[in-house]
Structure 1
Amino acid sequence: MTNINDIARLAGVAKSTVSRYLNGGVVGEETRLKLDNIIKETGYTPNAFAQSLKAKRTNIVGAIVPRLDSFAASQILIGIDEELRAENYQLLISNTSQTIEREIESIYTLAKQKAAGIILLATEVTPAHLEAFKKINIPVILMGQQADNIHSVIHDDYGAAYEMGKYILSKGHKKVAYLGVTERDISVGIKRKEGFKKAMEEHGSCEVRYYETGFKLEAALAKASEVIETYRPSIIVCATDNIAMGTLKAANLLKVKVPTELSITGFGGYEVTTIIHPTLTTVKLYFKEAGQHAAKGIMKLIKEEIIPPVTVSKFKIIEGESVDRK
């Protein structure tokens, strides 16, 4: 394989001259033409990562994700990567395994690696996050959460949950359970719950109980089993598709028929919800498009262009087979 030393030898110039040429520095016209021809003839491709580390501003954008085994995260990353590649930017992913300390550490690490910008798929935003954003002094976009003076790409969690509330009411359900998550997560834990609660309050003539579980299927399975046995709702509205699938599993284990004895809804629009039985009625969020919005936004911020403080992604209610009319 041809390397920078080979290019320098063939051109009869110093390695530093080739490096300067590759990084857009000034070289003589004769030398530039000679290097142009040699690089074309040899098919030499510079190491973009190594190049970028030498530059004051790299072509690298860091994405910090809470977990890699998430459908939402994978789709968002695909959207980010496609947009960045189209503009000759590279994506560097940092997985934090849902650990706040590792999130903060990743922010500082990416800054030390001279990332041009950071996209953070945040589950919550703490004072430590805000302090880190101020210290690193490079563009940051939050995905899924909002914070003062930080650009964000969010889903319309409140509006989507409100519409789901109206949808299940239109199906005649009057004994309702809502299975949500911790309110430390503003978007999923608070906004979805508040949007749903608003729809219930406007109707006023149904019984609703609110419960909390974890994001993982196992936690949802345990909590949903408890809710089904103690409350016997006609429908369980779940804050995520993962929780909905845990609830469906609980119903199957308890021999409760879905949807005739218990209806279930989700939130997210994961691909798996279209192949399980019964297929899941859910709110489809456009994760890939949201990732594209974030990538376009971070590139504009890197170029010191103005973008809206908040970009809201679209949603759509997808009717599956998991909701019965009462």
Structure 2
Amino acid sequence: MVTIKDIAHKAGVAKSTVSRYLNGGSVSKKTKAKLDQIVSETGYAPNTFAQSLKAKKTKMIGTIIPRLDSFATNTILASIDEELRIKNYQLIITNTNQSVEHEVENIYTLAKQKVDGIILLATVVTQAHRKAIADVNIPVLLLGQSADGLNTIVHQEYEAGFKMGNYATNLGHKNFLYFTVLEEDEAVGQLRSKGVLDALKGSLETTVEVVEISFSFSKAYEKAMSVLTETTATYILCATDNIALAVMKAAHTLGLTIPEDFSLSGFGGYEVTSIVTPTITTVKYPYEELGSVSVANLIDLIEGEDKVITIELPNQLIARESTIPLIKTP
């Protein structure tokens, strides 16, 4: 096994210089280039745990996620993990099963484990969240939910909703059904929904039925089974791709055809939406970029940069087979 001593010997420098280099300290460009080459050639990997015993920082980052069965969450996590490995940090993951109480508890739990910072994929932001973040006194970065005075990276939710609603009306549809989620969810239940509804209601002679539904595929499917038998909508918008997939399954079960019986769209840009038949119109969110940007900004905070992070990431509407112009009957 290659050690710091071996690296120092090959480079012709002191062990302290190698240690400083590995911990991101100041070394000359020439020395850094030499050490970069030797580390690459030897495949040396520093013992992060051993380093943490000697340093004030543990080189560990805690991540709090709402659920494990989410394409978006897993894509973000994969990106976070990759970026942290490059920067010699280790990732600790905690799952809350969409429990607000568990989110708050996990902030305290991770702080007790001496993580250097926390990335929180929050479902909502309550006063209990704010108190916990203030109490632990380590950098906490929220993803997906905006909150005044806290460090946040969010998607352009209102713009995404308006973009999809405008797309649907431009296809000539007049009767819409929108499957939304709990209003307590500010990003999806409020901002995204407001964008959709503002666009739909901006068109003359439209009718919009709004139905609250669960993020859960199975629960969304059950709800869709009852709603689809009664709706007269020619276009169904779903707050997430997961809900759109549940609606697609319910339509198939009921013998309905997409897009002939109704057009269908979602939000997220999940890979599976390009695989199913028909492929699903969606708004694609930059989940991988969200992961990498969150790591870069959290490390800035850990290293003492004095700033409040507020970043919005754009998105892209992708029109596919599940949506077609309304064919007017004579």
TM normalised by structure 2 equals: 0.84
| Unaligned residue ranges in structure 1 (runs of 5+) | 8-17, 26-39
What does residue 211 of structure 2 align with? Answer: 211
CA distances 1:78-97 after superposition (whole Å, capped 9, x unpaired): 22122222322222211222
The CA distance in 1 between the partners of 2:43 and 2:239, in whole Å, is 52
Counterparts of 1:97-176 in structure 2, within 5 Å, are: 97-176=97-176
CA distances 1:200-246 after superposition (whole Å, capped 9, x unpaired): 22213211111101001112112222222122210110000000000
Pairing 1:265–2:261 present: no
The CA distance in 1 between the partners of 2:241 and 2:223, in whole Å, is 15
Further displaced range: 223-232 or 46-55: 46-55
Letter in 2 for 1:263: S
The CA distance in 2 between the partners of 1:208 and 1:87, in whole Å, is 49
**Are the equivalent residues in 2 in contact too, given 1:96–1:102 (CA < 8 A)?**
yes
Counterparts of 1:69-108 in structure 2, within 5 Å, are: 69-108=69-108
**Are the equivalent residues in 2 in contact too, given 1:300–1:307 (CA < 8 A)?**
no
The CA distance in 1 between the partners of 2:204 and 2:309, in whole Å, is 36
SS in 1 for 2:184: coil
The CA distance in 2 between the partners of 1:213 and 1:115, in whole Å, is 36
Pairing 1:314–2:308 present: no
Pairing 1:323–2:323 present: yes
SS in 2 for 1:231: coil
What does residue 36 of structure 1 align with? Answer: none
| Unaligned residue ranges in structure 2 (runs of 5+) | 6-14, 24-38
The CA distance in 2 between the partners of 1:205 and 1:255, in whole Å, is 29
The CA distance in 2 between the partners of 1:303 and 1:46, in whole Å, is 20
The CA distance in 2 between the partners of 1:162 and 1:239, in whole Å, is 12
What does residue 62 of structure 2 align with? Answer: 62
What does residue 286 of structure 1 align with? Answer: 286
The CA distance in 1 between the partners of 2:136 and 2:96, in whole Å, is 19
What displacement does 1:53 show? 4.4
**Are the equivalent residues in 2 in contact too, given 1:174–1:206 (CA < 8 A)?**
yes
Further displaced range: 157-166 or 193-202: 193-202
What displacement does 1:293 show? 1.2
CA distances 1:20-65 after superposition (whole Å, capped 9, x unpaired): x96999xxxxxxxxxxxxxx9x998653124314432221111111
Further displaced range: 79-88 or 141-150: 79-88
Letter in 2 for 1:110: L
Letter in 2 for 1:262: F
Further displaced range: 219-228 or 71-80: 219-228
SS in 2 for 1:268: coil
Further displaced range: 177-186 or 61-70: 61-70
What does residue 180 of structure 1 align with? Answer: 180
The CA distance in 1 between the partners of 2:277 and 2:170, in whole Å, is 23
**Are the equivalent residues in 2 in contact too, given 1:180–1:193 (CA < 8 A)?**
yes
Please give the root-mean-square deviation of Cα atoms over the aligned residues, in Å.
2.7
**Are the equivalent residues in 2 in contact too, given 1:68–1:95 (CA < 8 A)?**
yes
The CA distance in 2 between the partners of 1:227 and 1:46, in whole Å, is 56
CA distances 1:133-167 after superposition (whole Å, capped 9, x unpaired): 00000111100001121110101111000000000
The CA distance in 1 between the partners of 2:143 and 2:124, in whole Å, is 10
SS in 2 for 1:259: coil
The CA distance in 2 between the partners of 1:185 and 1:44, in whole Å, is 45
The CA distance in 2 between the partners of 1:239 and 1:95, in whole Å, is 22
Q: Percent identity?
A: 46
SS in 2 for 1:312: strand
SS in 1 for 2:321: coil
SS in 1 for 2:228: helix
What does residue 241 of structure 1 align with? Answer: 241
CA 321–47 in structure 1, closer or farther in 2 if over 3 Å, else same:
same
CA 229–58 in structure 1, closer or farther in 2 if over 3 Å, else same:
same
The CA distance in 2 between the partners of 1:306 and 1:211, in whole Å, is 43
What does residue 202 of structure 2 align with? Answer: 202
